[in-house]
Amino acid sequence: MTRPLSTRTENIAASLTVAIDTLAKQMIAEGKDVVSLGAGEPDFPTPRPICDAATRAIADGKTRYTAPVGILEVRKEVCNKLKRDNGLDYAPEQIIMTSGAKHAVFNSLAALVNPGDEIIIPAPYWVTYPELVKWLGGVPKFVPTTIGNKFKMTAEQLQSAITEKTKAILINNPCNPTGSVYSHEELAGLAKVIVKNDIYCISDEVYEYFVYGAQFASIASFDGMAERTIVVNGFSKSHCMTGWRIGYDAAPAPIAKIIGKIQGQATHHPSNIAQYAALEALRMGMGEVDKMRAAFRRRRDFMVSQVSRILGESISAPEGAFYLFAPVAKLYGKKTPAGAAVNSSIDFCKYLLETQGLAIVPGAAFGDDSCVRFSYAASDETLAKACERFENGIKELK
C-alpha cells in the first residue's frame, strides 16, 4: 500500500513502561531469568470479594451493554467515595466509568483540547500524558522540576508557564514516576494560579491511597476548582485490578456530558463485569488497601536504603505512589564489560536488562534522562534480587 497512515499517530511515541513490561514478561515466558521492576503493577492478587462480585455478575447475566457512562449504582458509589475521602460533591451525572485511569485521562484531554492548545505538564511526568496531548493536536508545555525541590512545581513556575494558548494543567498527585506528593499549602498555591488564569485542571489521583506520612488532598477541593477540574481515578493500583481495566472521570456537568458522548462513540462503556467488581471495591472498606500501604511503605524504605547505599548518596524517601526515581547520571561516560558506552538512562537500562536480567524504566521516558525508575510494587524477594543485580551491574561498569 502506498497511501499514508495517520500522520498524527506517526508523531507519538509508544509507551516505554508498557514496552518494557511486555518485553520482561515475554523474556520470563521464554524461560529467561528476569527480575522486573518495570511496570507499576501491584504484586498482590485482586482481593477475593472483588473477584466473587465479578463471578456473581456473570452468573446474574450482567453481560450486556450498559449506558456509555456506566451503571448508575456504581456511579452513585463513586460519588459517595469522592465525598467520604476527598470532601467533593458530585452527582452521578458527573461520573463516567472508563476502561482504566489511562482511558479517563484520554477522555479528559479529548474533551478539552483544540489544535494548538497548550497543556501544562510538570516534568518528570508519566509517559502517556504528552503523547496523548500531541495525538489530540495539542502542545505539551513542560515545567521542569528538580530533585532539590522534591520534583514539585511551584505556583510561580506555573504562573510563568501560562500563555494565551494554555488550556489546562495536567497533574499527577501522588506522582508517577517521582513519588512526590503536594502538600495542602502547595496545592492551595497552584489552585489560586489556576483560578486566576481561568484554565482547566486534569488531576490524576490514581495513587491517592499510597501516601506515607504525607496527607493527600484533591486539588478539586480548593476554592473555585471543582468547576474547572476533571478528577481521574481508577482501581488498578488501589485494588490490584490492573487487568480489569476500570477507572473513572469525575467532571463538571458540561464536560461530563461531552466525555459521555466521546465514550458512547469510542468504546460504548467499560466492561459490565468490571463495573460490578469496582462496585464491590468501593463498598468493601479500606482493610486491603491499608495492608498494601503498609507493605509498600516497608518496601519503599528498603529500596531507598539499598539504592542510596549502592549509589553512594542519600536519596530522600518519596512520600507517595510506589516508585523510586533515582539519579544515575554520574554513571554516564562509563563503559560496559563489552566495551559499549553508557551515556544515557536508556543505555543504562538496556545494559542492566541484557547483562543482569533487571528491568527498570529509563528516566528519559518520563522527561528526565538523569534518573531511572524502580517500581517497588513487587515482593520483598524480588526487590532484594533487583538490588543485587543493580549493584552487580554498576560494579561491572568501568
CB–CB of 245/103 below 8 Å? yes
Query: Closest separation between CB of residue 362 and ligand GLU, Å?
Result: 13
Q: How far is the CB of 299 from ligand GLU (least distance, A)?
A: 16
Q: How far is CA 156 from the centre of its chain?
A: 25
Contact 372, 361 (CB under 8 A): yes
Rounded least distance, CB 155 to ligand GLU, Å: 27
Q: What number of CA atoms fall less than 13 Å from residue 93's CA on the CB side?
A: 6
Closest C-alpha to 371, from 315, 298, 317, 319: 315
Question: Which lies closer to ligand GLU via its Cβ, residue 17 or residue 203?
Answer: 17
Identity of residue 373: R
Q: Smaller CB distance to ligand GLU: residue 90 or 248?
A: 248
Residues that bind ligand GLU (CB under 6 A): 15, 17-18, 39-40, 102, 126-128, 176
- As beta bridge partners, residue 232 has 204, 249
Cα 130 versus chain centre, distance: 13
User: Shortest distance, CB of residue 18 to ligand GLU, whole angstroms?
Assistant: 5
**Shorter beta-carbon distance to ligand GLU: residue 225 or 361:** 361
C-beta of 101 vs 161, nearer to ligand GLU: 101
Alpha helices, H only, the chain: 7-10, 16-29, 48-59, 72-86, 101-112, 128-135, 155-161, 184-196, 253-266, 272-283, 287-311, 345-351, 380-395
For residues 371 and 360, is the Cβ–Cβ distance under 8 A?
A: no
**Using an 8 Å Cβ cutoff, are 321 and 175 in contact?**
yes
Is 194 or 206 the residue whose CB approaches ligand GLU more closely? Answer: 206
Residue 211 CB, shortest distance to ligand GLU, in Å, is 17
Q: Smaller CB distance to ligand GLU: residue 145 or 176?
A: 176
